[in-house]
Structure 1
Amino acid sequence: MKRSEFLKNISLATVLLADGSIIPALGADSLAKKTKLRFVVASDGHYGQAKTEFESYFDTAVKQINQQHKQEKLDLCVFNGDVIHDNPDFLPASKKALDGLAMPYYVTQGNHDRVEPQVWEETWKMALDYDVVVKDNAFLFGTTSNIKGQYLCPNVSWFKNKLEEHKDKKNVFIFVHITPVKWTDNGKDCIEFQELVKQYKNVRGIFNGHDHDQEGIKVKDGIPYLFDSHIGGSWGTDYRGFRVVELKKNNDIVTYLMNPITKINEASI
């Protein structure tokens, strides 16, 4: 089955290959191929949320991500929004917790990261919209909110410039906290962004946080949108986990969730 031009949910047990094919996970020979790039995507820690064990949630996530790194090197980790829960006073402590990661990490701003842009950038040493290149792969990170916690579409002008800049990269991975397709009650229908990204065939995945109860992969215009559950917060899946992504030598991508100790929902894209 080839990439299609219509919106399609993908079963948690399916495989998406580099050529756009979708096959059953059991039939994927890419699972055993050598990995050339490996990273983790986590989100929604909600550090500081009342009546939650947020310190413990962060401690568990950091330890388990570091364990992944120990087992097989991680090139980076992305924390895709809602690091804190509204109160900017928790920002230093949340950063201290994430500084325990043993690999480079990057963050995006979510709707509960209600921090002045200057404070955010001074804390993380990262802009609200920025890009990183790792092994001929471009990583684009975009904000989808502001200090008021509004749901916003990604900055299309910025993404257009960066997608054009990186059009010759092997792969492009995009990270935005709020889902830019109205699949869920908490998503936002960002038509202009959807029309932009489908023009670039090297966009291999768009990673979303925000929807704590979403743990699968959805496809629109041939592009997979990947969800990663949550590591904290008061609602969502009955486990608190993160997504591992492994780019193979043949340019297939194997991805699965850790819950946070056991591997689940393995697929390839």
Structure 2
Amino acid sequence: MASRRNFIKNGITGMAAISLLPAVNTFAGEDNRYNRMFNAKPKLRFALASDGHYGQPGTDYKNFHADMVRWLNEDHAKNHFDFVIINGDLVHDQPELLPELKANCLDKLKAPYYTIPGNHDFADATLWEKIFGYKDNYVVDKGEVGLILANTADTKGKYICPDVSFIAESLDKFSSKEIVFVILHIPPVIWLKGEAFVDCPEVMRLLEKAPNVKALFHGHEHSLDSMRRSAKLPHFFDSHIGGSWGTGYKGYRVVEVSDDNKIYTYQVNASKNPVLNSTMI
């Protein structure tokens, strides 16, 4: 963790933003959600939030999560989420807190939700299935849209590549889908030397070869809230909900898919409600 914070303080991430992030940084009021790019309500709308770090010492983690639930429920009441994804680091090095987090926070979300482990969850497939009812690698079928969610850390917090066989099988299963999104807490690409990501060329070859994979979504790096690009695919980050460091605000990312399969995504500064870094994929 310290090396990641120092990396950011040294300004290297900021330098990367000049060449890797899109030249899009629009702001809008809290009610200006869909209809910004589409003429009607999107056929699919979901949110991604990550890095709550429930139980982290020295942080106000219970209020962080209460805020997250309130923000997402308010957005859902106004514009409707088909589901919410909590993309890793649900707890902070204490997997025994996962049932408490689920009962006291996540189950209060008004929209259906899915989760995937991060490097601070210290969880394997058995534990994840016991608590959430599904394993740490799974797919979600939403008609024309398929989602692939995969674990990127072991039970000690070591960064690992997504299971290649699982990714290949999932891509084959979703080969007829118009759109596939991939949800990974830790990015499988290292853009700059020293970044706390993991290099997974075999996984990326599979993903970039699949014509219907449209984007990857990540948490993990609390300081990133926009887009980076690998050879052929955009990778979107969603800032953080909790933890002791990162962007100066707490937020989440929204993804909207139109009836004609146009994809629009933007980051929400939930602390103050403007929309950030809007992008058409």
TM-score, normalised relative to structure 2 = 0.85
Please tell me whether residue 144 in structure 1 is matched to residue 155 in structure 2: no
Counterpart of 1:31?
37
- Return the letter of the residue paired with 1:133: D
SS in 1 for 2:246: coil
Over 3 Å counting, the alpha-carbon distance change for 1:104 and 1:174 in structure 2 is same
Counterpart of 2:67?
60
Does the 8 Å contact 1:14/1:268 carry over to 2?
no
Please tell me whether residue 47 in structure 1 is matched to residue 54 in structure 2: yes
SS in 2 for 1:99: helix
Does the 8 Å contact 2:25/2:276 carry over to 1?
no
- Return the letter of the residue paired with 1:154: P
Deviations 1:2-25 (A, max 9, x none): xxxxxx62325179xxxxxxxxxx
SS in 2 for 1:254: strand
Counterpart of 2:215?
205
Distance, in Å, in 1 between the alignment partners of 2:129 and 2:239 is 26
Task: Compute the displacement of 1:116 (Å).
Answer: 4.5
- Return the letter of the residue paired with 2:154: N
Task: Compute the displacement of 1:199 (Å).
Answer: 1.0
Counterpart of 1:216?
226
Distance, in Å, in 2 between the alignment partners of 1:74 and 1:56 is 22
SS in 1 for 2:211: coil
Does the 8 Å contact 2:124/2:136 carry over to 1?
no
Distance, in Å, in 2 between the alignment partners of 1:267 and 1:171 is 16
Task: Compute the displacement of 1:94 (Å).
Answer: 1.1
Counterpart of 1:262?
274
Task: Compute the displacement of 1:117 (Å).
Answer: 3.4
The answer to which structure, 1 or 2, has the higher relative contact order (CA under 8 A, 6+ apart) is 1
Instruction: Map residues 33-112 of structure 1 onto 2, 5 A cutoff.
Output: 33-34=39-40, 35-96=42-103, 97-112=105-120
SS in 2 for 1:204: strand
Task: Compute the displacement of 1:249 (Å).
Answer: 2.0
Counterpart of 1:238?
248
Does the 8 Å contact 2:125/2:137 carry over to 1?
no
SS in 2 for 1:131: strand
More strand by share: 1
Counterpart of 2:196?
186
- Return the letter of the residue paired with 2:97: F
Deviations 1:195-236 (A, max 9, x none): 110111110111111011011111223211110001000011
Distance, in Å, in 2 between the alignment partners of 1:205 and 1:248 is 16
Distance, in Å, in 2 between the alignment partners of 1:242 and 1:116 is 25
Distance, in Å, in 2 between the alignment partners of 1:164 and 1:262 is 38
Moved more, 38-47 or 257-266: 257-266
Deviations 1:23-44 (A, max 9, x none): xxxxxx9713331110001100
Structure 2, unpaired ranges of 5+: 1-18, 27-34
Over 3 Å counting, the alpha-carbon distance change for 1:204 and 1:157 in structure 2 is same
Does the 8 Å contact 1:143/1:177 carry over to 2?
yes
Moved more, 184-193 or 38-47: 184-193
Counterpart of 1:121?
129
Task: Compute the displacement of 1:115 (Å).
Answer: 2.9
- Return the letter of the residue paired with 2:50: S
Structure 1, unpaired ranges of 5+: 1-7, 16-28
TM-score, normalised relative to structure 1 = 0.88
- Return the letter of the residue paired with 1:248: S
SS in 2 for 1:32: coil
Task: Compute the displacement of 1:139 (Å).
Answer: 0.8
Runs of 4+ in structure 1 deviating by more than 4 angstroms, as ranges, are none
Distance, in Å, in 1 between the alignment partners of 2:39 and 2:229 is 24
- Return the letter of the residue paired with 1:93: E
- Return the letter of the residue paired with 1:13: V
Counterpart of 1:10 (choices 18, 21, 24) is 21
Identity over the aligned pairs, expressed in percent?
A: 37
